[in-house]
Amino acid sequence: MNPVNRRNEILTIVRRKKRVHVEELAHHLNISRETIRRDLTELERNGKIQKFHGGAALPVVAGEGRFQERMGENVLAKVFIASKAAKLISPGETILIDTGSTTLYFAEKLTELSDLTVVTNSAEIARILGTDSESTQVFLLGGEFNGDNRQTVGSMAIAQIRSFRAHHAILTISALDDRTGIMDFNISEALIAQAMIEQAESVTVLVDSSKFGRIASFEICELNKITNLVCDQRPPKTIEQRLLAAGVTIISVEK
């Protein structure tokens, strides 16, 4: 396992357990305690974890707010979804990525690729890719800033999205049903997603099974605008049939 993959795995474990010791990490990854300590030092330097004597925890600044709570929900499912989605990306491509806990995990997987151009409204995604991937060019959209989930929204961000053309738009959502399509509870985030869809050749939605059959306040798009749906479990039969009829490729981590 190379250092980038190993540190991503360590970060996943810390997020899932909130607090973990060096001995536990060394045993889980089957590597030396010295290597674990070096990795924890690097992760702390990049602001991803906070070391304590004998282990690591989430940093205080990243442990506050509703967004960080979502980062700790369904961690394994989100990691698996992110890994599957990253396989859709090739070097040299341009990617639009919106703000979400699953797209943040996806961004961490992108650090394992090279020569990408990433456009995002997430300051955290921009930081991850700008810090961990030397060959990736990152554009952080300007606009109204939300401090909880560290994203920009509004007319300025949307205008800047429209100055790009992308191979992929990678989106997270709040809800998906067979009647409306994909939805969000936040109008500003829905408008960002709509703008990204307009500028992309391919639209990939990252979703865990808790979003299936839900309804949210603001429609993003109908099912036929989606190219790929990457999920942890197959959708319920009615939704799956409508997705397939709309030409959506369903990529499930469920075996």
**At residue 8, does pLDDT exceed 90?**
no
Cα separations in angstroms, 77 against 81, 115, 172: 6, 27, 14
Nearest-angstrom CA–CA distance, 92 and 115? 5
Structure tokens at 152: 């920009």
Range(s) for CATH 3.40.50.10470 in the chain? 67-252
Range(s) for CATH 1.10.10.10 in the chain? 3-63
How many CB atoms are closer than 10 A to CB 142?
Answer: 13
Q: List the CATH code of the domain at 67-252.
A: 3.40.50.10470
The pLDDT value recorded for residue 65 is: 45
Span between the terminal Cα atoms of the chain, in Å: 24
The residue type found at 188 is S
What is the per-residue DSSP string for 2-17?
Answer: -HHHHHHHHHHHHHHH
What is the per-residue pLDDT across 112-139, written as a single tens digit (0 to 9) for each? 888 999 999 999 999 989 886 778 999 9
What is the per-residue pLDDT across 179-201, written as a single tens digit (0 to 9) for each? 999 999 999 999 999 999 999 99
Nearest-angstrom CA–CA distance, 114 and 76? 25
How far is Cα of residue 137 from the mean position of the Cα atoms in its chain? 17
Which residue, among 160, 229, 214, has the nearest Cα to 191 in the 3D structure? 160
Nearest-angstrom CA–CA distance, 183 and 177? 9
How far is Cα of residue 181 from the mean position of the Cα atoms in its chain? 20
CATH fold of 3-63, please?
A: Arc Repressor Mutant, subunit A (1.10.10)
Nearest-angstrom CA–CA distance, 140 and 186? 20
- Kindly indicate the confidence band of residue 230, based on its pLDDT and cuts at 50, 70 and 90: very high
